Structure 1
Amino acid sequence: MMKIKFWGVRGSIPSPGPDFVKYGGNTLCVELCLKGLNRLIIIDAGSGLRLLGNQLMGKQISAEPLSIDMFLTHTHLDHILGFPFFVPIFQPGTRLTIHSPVTCEEDSLETVLGGQLSYRYFPVRQAELAANIAYINLKEGSFDLGDGIRLTTKYLNHPLLCLGFRFEYGGKICCTAYDTEPFQNIFITDPHDPAFDAIMAHE
């Protein structure tokens, strides 16, 4: 059995206030709970990750250390800004594996995420995190994650290297394919463009 919980669904920046109560104001963070496994899958680390971390720590009294797989679709700020505020990374015993595409191969995933934890931006440095954190450069393909979990990834059309995810477990499937754009310009305003008449006809 797979349960999905949305801790954040917005893009660009968090949006607090009464106008955003229905869907919440946090940026992207999705939790996959897999029945029968002491294993947590998190998709993206937007501002919603802070709330998820707080809930996890509330359940940790006399519980086993957390084992977390975090999958980032890409490393734009709205998808990672919750990471420094994710309480489990400050807890000894937490095992966290972060999977993400990296646009520039010369910059490791650890370096990219660690940019937020430099002294200029945050009071805690990356080297001071207590959790056991592993970083995996994720690419397009199909992967056996163990415990009967299969992941298929697909590159999306986005200014930064970005992946869509398809998780399968126990006969259930969860897919994400956000932050992707059309491969052609759909905003054609030049009347001399061959596609202009077709666009106007649809309007």
Structure 2
Amino acid sequence: MLVRFWGTRGSLPVAATASIVQDKVAHALLAASGRSFADIEEARSFARSELDFAISGTFGGATTCVEIEAGDPANGDAFILCDMGSGLRGFGLDAMRRCAAGHARVYHFFMSHLHWDHIMGFPFFVPAFDPNAHIVIHSGHEDAEEALRRQQEEISFPVKFDWLRAKIEFRTLKVGETYQIGAVQVELMEQHHSHSSFGYRFTDAEGKVAVFSTDSEHKLDRMEGEADVEQFFRAADLVICDTMYSLADSVSMKEDWGHSSNIVAIDLCHGARAKRLALFHHEPVYSDADIARMHAESVRYEELTREHDPLEVLCAYDGLEVSL
């Protein structure tokens, strides 16, 4: 199983401004301390190996979209996607390239919920205009089709939903059921969020498990009621978890906003004996330096509270690939 992150921000897309880019360049020049490079590859090697990621790269600004590659695409296994945030546009362009090389034109989407930042990429999803594509949209919400059609009404978008040429179908999944969809078994869990959200647990034929759990609020003072979440996360090889806020933000001015903190995510993964955690759904006002600082604090907190095997704490960014 391979997990690709196409969009990792929450709420709305963000882009680096000119001043942010200039600041990164200035810090890189200071770190280079007058040295020269023979060619661009040598300069890139310096950036990768000697600069902090918050300077040499970026966590990105696209909203939620995660690809789960399972099975064997050469044997006709379908694409598997979680959510349709603005990161879906980049995935769609890459998928068309892969389809031209022989990948099946079948797309299974699993929707956490229907808020705009999680569906806004669909009108820009190029395979939706491919008459040979088959798109299946799975959700715990019975009104998923209504939400996607509504955002393409004329008052909001110039291309109507009915103008899309792919075969598109909607399937409502039920909590407590296990579904074999493509190369994975899928289970879902209802979560704490406005209009509800759903987490998904994907298990491939080799027993590898990836959990996608975003837009869910887990409160620090109510952790005794989270046994069902720990069970859902149990022994997962990777848990992609909503860590939008710092602990201070989550318990103060942003309480009841439907999101969680890095600290709570680590506690849940420790209780579940999960192997890896990906911090996810980054707050749009947080800079790359802010997110990198939260990641470092998370790694340290995991070390201090560890009682069993280590939990590897990753920080998701647009373009990250994780092999399970």
TM-score range, shorter chain: 0.7 to 0.9
TM-score under structure 2 length normalisation: 0.53
Give unmatched runs, 5+ long, in structure 1.
Answer: 189-203
Kindly indicate whether structure 1 or structure 2 has the higher relative contact order, using CA contacts under 8 Å at least 6 residues apart. 2
The offset of 1:54, in angstroms, is: 0.6
Q: 2:187 aligns to what?
A: 152
Q: 1:174 aligns to what?
A: 210
Residues 64-119 of structure 1 show CA distances to partners (whole Å, capped at 9, x for unaligned) of 551110001000111110010000000001011001122xx5xx321211111111
Q: Is the 8 A contact 2:78 2:182 kept in 1?
A: no
Q: 2:62 aligns to what?
A: 26
Q: Cα RMSD (Å) of the superposition?
A: 2.1
**Deviates most, 56-65 or 41-50:** 56-65
Q: Map 1:1-203 to 2 at 5 A.
A: 2-17=1-16, 21-37=57-73, 38-61=77-100, 63=102, 65-102=104-141, 108-169=143-204, 170-182=206-218, 186-187=251-252
Supply the distance in 1 between the matched residues of 2:218 and 2:97 (Cα, whole angstroms).
42
Q: Is the 8 A contact 2:70 2:184 kept in 1?
A: no
Give percent identity, aligned residues only. 34
What is the total number of aligned residue pairs between the two structures?
A: 183
The offset of 1:148, in angstroms, is: 5.0
Paired residue type of 1:17: A
Supply the distance in 2 between the matched residues of 1:25 and 1:96 (Cα, whole angstroms).
25
Which is higher, the Rg of structure 1 or of structure 2? 2
TM-score under structure 1 length normalisation: 0.82
**Deviates most, 31-40 or 56-65:** 56-65
Question: By percentage of residues, which structure has more strand?
Answer: 1
Q: 1:186 to 1:90 in 2, by over 3 A?
A: same
Question: By percentage of residues, which structure has more helix?
Answer: 2
The offset of 1:120, in angstroms, is: 1.3
SS at structure 1 position matched to 2:100: coil
Residues 29-71 of structure 1 show CA distances to partners (whole Å, capped at 9, x for unaligned) of 0001113242110000000000000111123336355111000
